[in-house]
Amino acid sequence: MTGKVETMDASDAHENAPSAKKSGKTSLLDSGEDFEVLDEEDIDDDLPPLEDAGGGDRNVADNAENKNAEEESEASAQMDEWLDVLGNDQLKKKVLEPGKGRASRPQKGQDVEINLRTHLMDGTLVEEQNNLSFTLGDGDVIQALDLTVQLMEMGEKALIHTDAKYAYGARGSLEPEIPPNAQLSLEVELVGATDAPDVELMPPSDRIALAIRKRERGNVHYQCADYAFAVNSYSIALQITESNSKVDISPEEEEELLDVKVKCLNNMAASQLKLDHYDAALKSCVSALAHQPDNIKALFRMGKVLALQGEYTEAIQTLRKALKLEPSNKTIHAELSKLVKKHSEQRGAEQAMYKKMLGNPSKSGTTKSRAKSSWGLSWKWLFGATAVAIGGVALSVVIAARN
Q: DSSP of 185-242, one letter per residue?
A: EEEEEEEEEEEPPPGGGS-HHHHHHHHHHHHHHHHHHHHTT-HHHHHHHHHHHHHHHH
Whether 403 is in a domain gets the answer no
Whether 120 is in a domain gets the answer yes
Q: How far apart are the first and last CA of the chain?
A: 111
Tell whether 186 and 205 lie within a shared domain. no
- Say what the pLDDT of residue 360 is: 56
Domain that holds residue 325: 200-329
Split at pLDDT 50, 70, 90, the class of 343 is confident
- Say what the pLDDT of residue 342 is: 83
- Say what the pLDDT of residue 345 is: 72
Q: Are 224 and 171 in contact (CB under 8 A)?
A: yes
What percentage of residues in the chain have a pLDDT greater than 70? 66
191 or 355: which carries more pLDDT confidence? 191
Tell whether 177 and 209 lie within a shared domain. no
pLDDT at 361 over 60: no
Q: Output DSSP code: residue 51.
A: T
Q: Are 193 and 154 in contact (CB under 8 A)?
A: yes
Domain termination site, one of 128, 163, 196 = 196
Domain count for the chain: 2
Tell whether 185 and 204 lie within a shared domain. no
The C-alpha atoms of residue 261 and residue 31 are separated, in whole angstroms, by 51
Domain termination site, one of 196, 227, 256 = 196
Least confident of 269-278, 283-292, 380-389: 380-389
**210-237 pLDDT, tens digit each:** 999 999 999 999 998 999 999 999 999 9
Whether 286 is in a domain gets the answer yes
Whether 89 is in a domain gets the answer yes
- Say what the pLDDT of residue 389 is: 56
**What's the one-letter identity of residue 306?**
L
Label residues 41-52 b or e (16+ Cβ within 10 Å = b).
eeeeeeeeeeee
- Say what the pLDDT of residue 357 is: 74
Q: Mean pLDDT over all residues of the chain?
A: 80
Strand partners, 97: 157
CB count, 10 Å around CB of 286?
14
CB count, 10 Å around CB of 287?
18
Phi/psi for 247 (5° steps) reads -120, 160
* Exposed / middle / buried, residue 279 (Cβ in 10 Å: 0-12, 13-18, 19+): exposed
Whether 369 is in a domain gets the answer no
Tell whether 290 and 315 lie within a shared domain. yes
CATH no. for residue 108?
Answer: 3.10.50.40
- Say what the pLDDT of residue 79 is: 63
| pTM score, whole prediction | 0.68
What percentage of residues in the chain have a pLDDT greater than 90? 61
Tell whether 167 and 232 lie within a shared domain. no
**165-213 pLDDT, tens digit each:** 999 999 999 889 999 999 999 999 999 999 999 999 999 999 999 999 9
The C-alpha atoms of residue 301 and residue 282 are separated, in whole angstroms, by 8
Domain termination site, one of 169, 196, 223 = 196
pLDDT at 377 over 50: no
**149-164 pLDDT, tens digit each:** 999 999 999 999 999 9
**3-53 pLDDT, tens digit each:** 445 556 644 434 443 443 344 444 433 434 333 333 444 444 444 443 344
Split at pLDDT 50, 70, 90, the class of 141 is very high
